[in-house]
Amino acid sequence: MAFFAGTGLVVKLVLFILLYFSVVSWAIIFYKVLQVHRANNESVRFMDFFWKTKKFDMIHTQLDRFANSPLTVLFSEGYAELKKLMEHGEARDASEGVSTDLGGIENIARALRRATTSEITRLEKYTTFLATTGSTAPFIGLFGTVWGIMTAFKGIGETGSASLAVVAPGIAEALIATAIGLVAAIPAVMGYNHFQHKIRVLIGEMDNFSTEFLNIVQRTFAKK
């Protein structure tokens, strides 16, 4: 706080900006930890339930139990498209099912792709701020440091003294901006990389689920 009080207006502004980046980054990190943790856990539980139940109607009635899993969104969209096709006559009954000739399977595949894209967007929301913080905060801090050093050297020129007692306080006050920049950037970069890895795992699970869902529809409902 003593360093902060002794800095100039420009360096104070830089420190306020870095403080904003840091606070928002930590808020995003805590939010994403909770979101991704719930998505992973409930996806595992949903897949166990999905393979044990095996009946689409019964699974659809229990989706609220796994509301945070992206897989439930995929199932809901795929199931809704399947029901729509069957109600519109593209499938007459469960034994004949969806006609591949009329594009029924492709309609379901498109619904699953739309749902996957939507869930990826939801999972990646706010992570770009972490990437931005990680890439720009050190440079913002460096700007504050350079400005502070310029001010310190200007003071040296005005006083005409270059002794350590005169130079050191100004340099130390300037370097605080770089330190705060690194404090803001390092957790943001670590959080961004962590969440990107977790999201890639969830994307892989969504792709696998979409494939399995289509295979079940083709085996069970599609016309032979």
What pLDDT is stored for residue 171 in this prediction? 74
Mean per-residue pLDDT, 113-129: 93
Query: pLDDT: is 106 or 174 the higher one?
Result: 106
For residue 194, the model assigns a pLDDT of 95
Distances (CA, A) of 76 to 93, 117, 161, 209: 20, 14, 74, 12
Tokens of 114: 């739309």
Report the share of the chain in percent with pLDDT over 90: 51
Residue for token pair 């949903």: 46
Q: Which helix (H) or strand (E) holds 186?
A: helix 164-220
- Exposed/middle/buried for 174, CB within 10 Å: 0-12, 13-18, 19+? buried
Look up residue 9 and give its amino acid. Answer: L
Question: Do 188 and 140 form a contact (C-beta atoms < 8 A)?
Answer: no
- Total number of domains in the chain: 1
Roughly what angle, to the nearest 10 degrees, separates helices 164-220 and 9-53?
20
Distance CA(3)–CA(12), nearest Å, equals 10
Average pLDDT over residues 113-133: 94
3-state SS, residue 75: helix
Residue ranges making up the domain that contains 127: 2-220
Q: What is the pLDDT of residue 5?
A: 63
pLDDT tens-digit map of 51-109? 988 788 889 988 899 989 999 999 999 998 888 887 765 444 444 444 444 456 888 89
CB 62 within 8 A of CB 49: yes
pLDDT at 223: 52
pLDDT of residue 90: 47
Question: Who has greater pLDDT, 165 or 128?
Answer: 128
